[in-house]
Amino acid sequence: MIKLNENFNKLKKNYIFAEISRRTEEYKSQNPTAQIIKLGIGDVTLPLSDCVLNAMHEAVNEMGEAATFRGYGPYEGYEFLRSAISKNYLKYGVDIQADEIYVSDGAKSDTANILEIFQTDENILIPNPTYPVYVDSSIVAGRSICYINANKDNNFLPLPDYSVKPSIIYLCSPNNPTGAVYNRDELKKWVDYALRNQAIILFDAAYETFIEDSDLPHSIFEIEGSRHCAVEICSFSKGAGFTGVRCGYVTIPNNLKIGDKRVGEMWLRRQSIKFNGTSYITQKGAAAALSKEGIEQSLKNISYYKENASMLSETLKELDIWHIGGKNSPYIWLKCPNNINSWDFFDILLTRINIVGTPGSGFGTNGEGFFRLSSFGKREDVKKATERIKKLQYLI
């Protein structure tokens, strides 16, 4: 008799974004004229750049001619894209070869799927609060999680606790949801800790393009020793605006081994069984996003979002609301004023000033009392949002 994977019962009942959308829809149905501004989910709003569009048009045309048609591609991605990514790493002084890169349909799939190559009884360390995918993909696979506290005291940048001995460590910097960014010294501490424990760091760098301070690391591979303990997961979603196009990649150094097995080889084997490569058209677009023109356009978009973040941050400062992020990150992480809890603050923003944000408690218990604002909105919306937020002081 067939049974369902019981681990699904251990998931939190309401997935945060589903609950946000439920409450928002409910409010909208009762207040159909309300002009709601969404600063919730981390989805981009600016269109793709011209060079990406051109590359994708060209790829579509190639698919229409027998001589240039492409069927199944390599599981690990096309050489042209892997080379472009490899070259892009040089910007940060990092030497990553094309054959250390594994292209995928997005960083979310990768952060979840990569667990499959490790034993299921491994102890997984996850900061609290966190991007929910690390937790949920661990839970459904029946894996045990230990949390490390991120909080106001450590500026939401927890450091290793040597009394805990995990085998897998999820780190995300710039962080989702908090926007906090590790510096080199801090990341070095994590690398040392991982090496000491013979653990693997799964480093989620999906927001690296938002880093502007030149002394902050974009890649874990800027840190000495990391090639022996880290895997990096990155994405075209936020920089190049690929949330609807779907492209990401995993970087696994060739010398990263467990016993005598190369981790990269294991990952490729996993991908060859459960994945069939990323769309050729998508990969052509992604490669164009890493061209000179593509990067210039991405940076323009990113500075647009960061100007949004800065406007939100200025407003919060005026109101004396504690917050971090927004500078090297698209997210602002604020302490709900007057010690209001996260969902109550969500309801206040929604019903009083018609702004939708993300309750911090949805990212873990340490997020309770905090709130995430995203800067991916349109300028005019963000402008309006800042005006509305200023009214908050009279409302709560």
Instruction: For helices 16-30 and 342-353, give the axis angle rounded to 10 degrees.
Output: 30
Q: Report the nearest approach of its own copies to the CB of residue 152 (Å).
A: 29
| Identity of the residue, 46 or 348, whose beta carbon is nearer to its own copies in the bound complex | 46
| Identity of the residue, 136 or 347, whose beta carbon is nearer to its own copies in the bound complex | 136
Which among 244, 259, 260, 374 is positioned nearest to 308, based on CA atoms?
A: 374
DSSP H or E stretch at residue 170: strand 168-172
Q: Report the nearest approach of its own copies to the CB of residue 193 (Å).
A: 13
Q: Report the nearest approach of its own copies to the CB of residue 242 (Å).
A: 9
In this structure, the chain runs to a length of 396
CA 18 to chain centre: 18
Q: Report the nearest approach of its own copies to the CB of residue 183 (Å).
A: 26
* Alpha-carbon span 285 to 78, nearest angstrom: 12
Indicate the SS3 state at residue 98. Answer: helix
* Alpha-carbon span 253 to 177, nearest angstrom: 27
| Identity of the residue, 6 or 185, whose beta carbon is nearer to its own copies in the bound complex | 6
Tokens matching residue 248: 């990401």
Q: Report the nearest approach of its own copies to the CB of residue 106 (Å).
A: 5
Tokens matching residue 325: 């992020």
DSSP state of 375: S
Q: Report the nearest approach of its own copies to the CB of residue 285 (Å).
A: 8
DSSP 194-241: HHHHT-EEEEE-TTGGG---TTS-SSGGGSTTGGGTEEEEEESTTTS-
Q: Report the nearest approach of its own copies to the CB of residue 57 (Å).
A: 6
DSSP state of 93: T
Q: Report the nearest approach of its own copies to the CB of residue 199 (Å).
A: 6
| Identity of the residue, 11 or 90, whose beta carbon is nearer to its own copies in the bound complex | 11
| Identity of the residue, 145 or 340, whose beta carbon is nearer to its own copies in the bound complex | 145
* Alpha-carbon span 246 to 214, nearest angstrom: 28
| Identity of the residue, 43 or 347, whose beta carbon is nearer to its own copies in the bound complex | 43
CA dihedral 363, 364, 370, 371 (to 10 degrees): 10
* Alpha-carbon span 245 to 178, nearest angstrom: 25
| Identity of the residue, 78 or 156, whose beta carbon is nearer to its own copies in the bound complex | 78
| Identity of the residue, 181 or 230, whose beta carbon is nearer to its own copies in the bound complex | 230
Phi, psi (deg, nearest 5) at residue 241: 75, 35
Instruction: Give the strand pairing for 200-204 and 230-235.
Output: parallel
Residues paired with residue 104 on neighbouring β-strands, in sequence order:
248
Q: Report the nearest approach of its own copies to the CB of residue 165 (Å).
A: 8
Q: Report the nearest approach of its own copies to the CB of residue 4 (Å).
A: 5
Residues 374/331, Cβ–Cβ less than 8 Å: yes
| Identity of the residue, 94 or 199, whose beta carbon is nearer to its own copies in the bound complex | 199
| Identity of the residue, 28 or 270, whose beta carbon is nearer to its own copies in the bound complex | 270
Residues 211/174, Cβ–Cβ less than 8 Å: yes
